[in-house]
Amino acid sequence: MGIKVFRVAEMVAAEQAADAAGHSYAQMMEMAGAAVARAIQQRWDVAGKEVLVLVGPGNNGGDGLVAGRYLAEAGASVSFYLYRPRDPEKDENYAAVEKMDLFNVTAANDQRYRVLRLRLRSADIIVDALLGTGVDRPIGGELATLLRQVRVGLQERPGSAAGSALALTSVAAVTPSPESDRPVVVAVDVPSGLNSDTGALDPLALPATLTVTFAGPKRGHFIFPGAAAVGELVVADIGIRADLPPVAAVPVQLATAETARALLLPRPQDGHKGTFGTVLVAAGSSHYWGAPLLCGLGAYRAGAGLVALAVPRVVRPVAASRLPEATYPPVPADEDLDEASAVMLLEDAGRYDAMLVGPGLGQAPGFVEALLAQAERLPPLVVDADGLNTLAVLENWASRLPRQTILTPHPGEMARLMGITLSELKERDRVELAREQAQAWGHVVLLKGAYTVVAAPDGEATLLPFATPALSTAGSGDVLAGVIVALLGQGLAPYEAAVLGGYLHGAAGAIAEELAGKSGLLAHEIAEFVMIALRRLTEGSKAGSSEAG
């Protein structure tokens, strides 16, 4: 079982079950606070650093008290700013802070927020433990005033944007000047003001550099605009067992490197091209020559043994010159794949371990309908791009596809498949939308976008942890489709192939962003980074085996 992605009600139920099973709320709070401190120490040297902990009235504030205590023990100079008073007779974590003689002040005792602003001016690290996952309404009242003062205090820091009129600027420097002297902000569970179910973000929320969440991420961590305020997201174990019924019942999980690594298939030393899957790609048209090439590159870089590109005659010479490693079935179509092309491909369909239909296909309803008329002869299937657009205009298309076909729509294609407008689709919860349609259609749905969702017909879903603009380039989806069909052809089940394929594609984008930045990546280059992502996963697997030995 991987890391679950919780709704607020699911998280509350999990905590209640853990407490009932003997793992108390106090123990969970201790583990949570310790995890926050540990995550901070792993990233920054805290010895001698100024840490300001903003302490809310509930359990989130308690987590912050624990975290501050551990940071003080590690050599940080820690101060606590309490939104509401806490009674040391009833609050053991606050009592521990007082026993250590650590500076703390309550907002009610801080005239005009002078202490707060003074501490903000010198803080190296701010721990945001004001509001937890239960927030579902706008921040108001005294807390809103406090957060406004936090913003003012940050603006008053030396070197901040508000005081930069005398800053020196090198007009010819290619490397930008260092950023203003702003502290690191660490959010406890969620940035205060983030709705953990919807991703709505209060205007007063404090964007985090790092968010340490507990037991599993929350849906809102992956929904914009709130997702943009999370920063680096770290999941900390607080002792809630995975086998507790409320945890096991959570239908959504997060794909991680460990999840992806567990799906990798072996590459035996005595293998040959047939061992690693023979896949057929039906793609391309007189208007879209590049799509089949990108699919083929994605498939080969994901480990396919042989890729056959079924493309119209007009595309074949160019494709063969750019990808001589592929084979090219002699389909009869000149410019666009047609019914005769489908009949010919169906004759040899049994030779292939998986098939991809759609990228760059253009308007080819006759081709798609002819394939579906004999769907029982098709190998495991992926439908992408124009293949999806063609399905959307066919009657009862879902029931005509082979069982558990993988559908890979972007939001516009998803809206067309559902028969709704794109604006209507954008109003819906992406995770629930994908889950509902996968169940209704009986197929695997990979809904593309920032934090892609993969949903199975049984209601299970996986969120992919990537949101990088590096992948926002023409042809990116063609590479993804090629990666998925390669994994399907190598023997992975449809859902697992979609999860691993989506993970490799997202990881490729993350690696590209790390090495080259957020823009300028070409689609064919994504395929090269897919190979690097695969290598990193494989090397991680070998390292794990070596350590185990």
Q: How far apart are the first and last CA of the chain?
A: 23
pLDDT at 181: 66
pLDDT at 545: 42
**Which range (28-32, 178-182, 233-237) has the least confidence?**
178-182
Tell me the β-bridge partners of 105: 81
pLDDT band at 182 (very low <50, low <70, confident <90, very high): confident
424 has a pLDDT exceeding 90: yes
pLDDT at 363: 87
pLDDT band at 273 (very low <50, low <70, confident <90, very high): confident
Helix or strand run (H / E) with residue 496: helix 494-516
CB neighbours (10 Å) of residue 115?
17
Tell me the pairing of strands 3-4 and 252-254: antiparallel
119 has a pLDDT exceeding 50: yes
Token code pair at residue 215: 């037991």
pLDDT at 366: 95
Beta strands in 169-258 (DSSP E): 184-188, 210-214, 232-236, 252-254
Question: Could you tell me which of 243, 218, 249, 257 has the C-alpha nearest to residue 499?
Answer: 257
Q: What is the per-residue DSSP string for 385-449?
A: THHHHHHTTSTTHHHHSPTT-EE---HHHHHHHHTS-HHHHHTS-HHHHHHHHHHHHTSEEEE-S
Helix or strand run (H / E) with residue 260: helix 257-263
Token code pair at residue 213: 């969440």
Angle between helices 92-99 and 25-43 (to 10 degrees): 50
pLDDT at 539: 85
Percent of the chain having pLDDT more than 70?
94
Higher pLDDT pick, 27 / 172: 27
Span 162-181, pLDDT tens digits: 444 444 556 676 655 555 56
Predicted model pTM: 0.93
pLDDT at 548: 35
pLDDT at 135: 81
What domains, with CATH codes, occur in the chain?
3-160+182-243 (3.40.50.10260), 260-548 (3.40.1190.20)
Asked if residues 451 and 458 have their Cβ atoms less than 8 Å apart, the reply is no
Within 8 A by CB and 6+ apart from 452, the residues are 446, 463, 464, 466, 502, 506
pLDDT at 163: 40
Segment 473-495 mean pLDDT: 97
pLDDT band at 152 (very low <50, low <70, confident <90, very high): confident
Segment 118-122 mean pLDDT: 92
Segment 31-60 mean pLDDT: 96
pLDDT at 155: 81
Within 8 A by CB and 6+ apart from 472, the residues are none
Percent of the chain having pLDDT more than 90?
87
pLDDT band at 542 (very low <50, low <70, confident <90, very high): low
Give just the sign of the alpha carbon dihedral 390, 396, 402, 407: positive
Q: How far is CA 406 from CA 109, 302, 371, 403, 485, in A?
A: 60, 17, 16, 9, 9
What 3-state class would DSSP assign to 233?
strand
Span 311-324, pLDDT tens digits: 999 999 999 999 99
